[in-house]
Amino acid sequence: MNATHLIDLDNLKKYFRVKESWGRSRSIHAVENVPLFIEAGETLGLVGESGCGKTTLGRTILRLYEPSAGKIFFKGKDITHVDMLPYRRKMQIIFQDPSASLNPRMTVGEIVGEPIDIHKLAPSPAERRERINYLLSRVGLNSEHANRYPHEFSGGQQQRIGIARALAVEPEFIVCDEPVSALDVSIQSQIVNMLEDMQGELGLTYLFIAHDISVVRHISKRIGVMYLGNLVELAESYELYEKPLHPYTQSLLQAVPIPDPQLTRRRKRTMLQGEIPNPMDIPKGCRFNTLCPHAQKRCTEAAAEFKEVAPGHSVACHLFT
């Protein structure tokens, strides 16, 4: 493993069994052969449409979902089958829906203090209280909020509580699972800027999952694009925007709104035609071949290898093999 890599994934897979009628069951290949690494201190963005496996990948890295195959390395150590409790301090998650991720029966102080108690990070009640107050102030709240319940806060404030909870154990790696998608646009920028500031101050590493590719571009050093469980392209943020290679990446970028009506009218867009595959009935070959405007016969016969075609720019497409 590379010494600069915090996270390394070796062909990670995650399947879910789904029961059908007459007692039969089939597998959903939510994550399939994902080769990925995240360098210490960087933000890796992950984009793709709903159901493509972004959240599943993030949760599998943290072993909230057990992987079906492949390996997960943290600082070069294989953590695929080890006891995760020691690593929970080092690896945390910020959930998409703050209201659903906070226990409504617990006060904010109890929510933020729970991981401190589990990992025995405060020798005394006074130090625990001081730590909770510091964490709340760090995310833009104050000590008075510790005695309130989650329902008394707005969505943006609830997400700040979730961030404070993630920071409570002083982690090195945080999976940001669409942390701003449920928030107003004005609040989104505040949360993203706060995450960036904390990364610089605390030396954090992020996997930033989002639908909005514009947000991902703003915060990420590199961006990975997923489609139906596969990683189809990975490149530096600027490179991906300027020179997208995979037809799916191109279609995603063409769908980003431009705040200029004249530019929008002159813009060339590739309209995707065909049927979106059933995740339980994945087409043979490239999974994008049913929608791809450049699909060839070999695209329906075998999946393309995910390989580097330019320095730091990898793609899984037969057009570049």
Say if residues 223 and 237 touch (Cβ distance below 8 Å).
yes
Q: CA–CA separation, 146 vs 43, rounded Å?
A: 30
Residue 163: the pLDDT is 96
What is the Cβ-side half-sphere exposure of residue 217, based on CA atoms within 13 angstroms?
11
Geometric angle at alpha carbon 12, from 60 and 10, rounded to 5°:
125
Q: Report in angstroms the alpha-carbon separations of 37 from 178, 189, 216, 255, 303.
A: 20, 27, 17, 28, 21
For the chain (length 321 residues), average pLDDT per consecutive 10? 86 88 81 92 93 93 95 95 93 92 95 95 94 95 94 94 96 94 85 92 95 85 94 94 92 76 65 77 88 89 92 93 73
Q: Report in angstroms the alpha-carbon separations of 67 from 20, 44, 175.
A: 23, 21, 16
Residue 316: the pLDDT is 94
Residue 1: the pLDDT is 62
Geometric angle at alpha carbon 215, from 211 and 217, rounded to 5°:
105
Say if residues 304 and 289 touch (Cβ distance below 8 Å).
no
Tell me the domains of the chain and their CATH numbers. 5-90+171-320 (3.40.50.300)
